[in-house]
Each structure stands twice: as C-alpha cells, then as structure tokens.
C-alpha cells in the first residue's frame, strides 16, 4: 500500500515539534493533520507542493512548508514536491511557463539567449516578466488542481481494489 511506503520515510511528529529551529512555529506544529496520511491531506499536499514548485523564487521549500501548515495538509510531501523544479528541470519548466504566459496574453515569444549576468537578467527579465509570471501562475494552478484530482482518484481506486482483494480473500476460505 502506498501509505505504508510513505510512512517509512515520514519523520516522527514528536521530533518535529521539539526541533530547535522550528520552535518559533509554536502550536501550529501540534496540528496532527500536517503529518497525517489520508486522502485529503496527501491530495492537499500535492496541490500546495505543485503550486509552489512553479513560483520562481528562492526558498520554495519554506513557502511550501508555510502553505502546508496554513492549509493543514501533509508537510513533508508538500515540501518534497517542490524539488520538481530543481536546477536541472528549472530551465525547461520555466520556459514552458513563459510560453504558456505568452500564449495567454497573446504576445509574441522572444528567443532567449541565456547569459549568467546581472545585466542580462535585468534587461531580459524586464522584457518578459509579464508572460513569465502569468505563465507560472497559470501552470501552478493547473498542475495543483490536476495533482489533487489525480491523487484523489488514485487513492479511491487503490482503496476500492484493496477492498475487492480483501473480499475475495475472505470468500475463498
């Protein structure tokens, strides 16, 4: 069962509450939902994690953690999903987001020759920031909703198959 696999990697709730760097969150960490593995919590964690993965800022993990705590969904899963946009996948994902934003705004896409310099960043980002940010928002919302629906359907199908297997097993004896 996926729940048992995920449980093996989950941290202990007591350790998280007593962690010295997380004490500033106070009673927010006492909510049992942030470590629960149920359909609502995992699906919500997918929504939070996938949305934050498309937010083009540093420290996405912190945003995902805050979002998970505020939405009362599974904290470790939402933080882990942010790593969909890692240094290898970030350029194609954000370029796709830029293309989506340009399509939504019905503007011409520019060919971008990336150079790692502050001048390039200020000049190019100044020219493409509107379609880029809109595309990130649209992709974030879309993938968050699709991820939530997929997890809820997957969970439902898996539970149905488990019940069917259990009934068959009990009827054979």
**DSSP letters of 120-170?**
HHHHHHHHHHHHHHHHHHHHHHHHHHHHHHHHHHHHHHHHHHHHHHHHHHH
Would residue 112 count as lying in a domain?
no
Least confident residue range of 1-5, 124-128, 134-138: 1-5
Predicted confidence (pLDDT) at residue 1 exceeds the cutoff of 70: no
What average pLDDT is seen over the chain? 83
Predicted confidence (pLDDT) at residue 106 exceeds the cutoff of 90: no
Average pLDDT over residues 8-27: 66
d(Cα 74, Cα 136) in Å, to the nearest integer?
A: 23
- Cβ atoms of 39 and 155 within 8 Å: the answer is yes
Closest CA to 48 of 70, 26, 31: 70
Of all residues in the chain, the percent with pLDDT exceeding 70 is 77
Domain that holds residue 50: 2-102+119-172
Would residue 129 count as lying in a domain?
yes
Give the pLDDT of residue 138. 95
Would residue 14 count as lying in a domain?
yes
Residue 111 DSSP one-character state = P
Of the pLDDT bands very low, low, confident and very high (cuts 50, 70, 90), residue 81 is very high
Give the pLDDT of residue 122. 74
Of all residues in the chain, the percent with pLDDT exceeding 90 is 29
Q: Domain tally for the chain? A: 1
Closest CA to 55 of 80, 103, 90: 90
| Token pair recorded at residue 136 | 């990130």
* Residues, the chain: 173
Predicted confidence (pLDDT) at residue 104 exceeds the cutoff of 80: yes
Average pLDDT over residues 4-15: 65
- In tens, the pLDDT along 28-71 reads 666 777 777 888 899 999 999 999 999 988 889 989 988 998 88
Closest CA to 149 of 36, 46, 37, 10: 46
Would residue 31 count as lying in a domain?
yes
| Token pair recorded at residue 118 | 């502050």
Would residue 163 count as lying in a domain?
yes
Would residue 26 count as lying in a domain?
yes
Would residue 139 count as lying in a domain?
yes
Give the pLDDT of residue 37. 83
Instruction: Give this prediction's pTM.
Output: 0.78
């Amino acid at each position: 069962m996926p729940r048992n696999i995920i449980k093996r990697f989950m941290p202990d709730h007591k350790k998280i509450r007593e962690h010295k760097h997380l004490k500033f969150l106070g009673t927010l960490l006492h909510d049992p939902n942030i470590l629960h593995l149920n359909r609502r919590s995992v699906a919500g964690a997918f929504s939070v994690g996938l949305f934050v993965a498309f937010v083009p800022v540093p420290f996405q993990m912190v945003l995902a953690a805050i979002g998970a705590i505020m939405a009362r969904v599974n904290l470790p899963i939402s933080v882990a999903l942010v790593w969909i946009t890692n240094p290898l996948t970030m350029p194609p994902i954000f370029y796709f987001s830029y293309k989506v934003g340009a399509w939504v705004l019905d503007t011409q896409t520019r060919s971008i020759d990336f150079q790692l310099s502050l001048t390039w960043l200020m000049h190019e980002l100044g020219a493409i920031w509107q379609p880029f940010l809109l595309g990130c928002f649209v992709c974030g919302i879309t993938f968050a909703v699709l991820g939530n629906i997929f997890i809820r359907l997957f969970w439902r199908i898996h539970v149905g198959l488990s019940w069917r297997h259990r009934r068959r097993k009990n009827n054979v004896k």
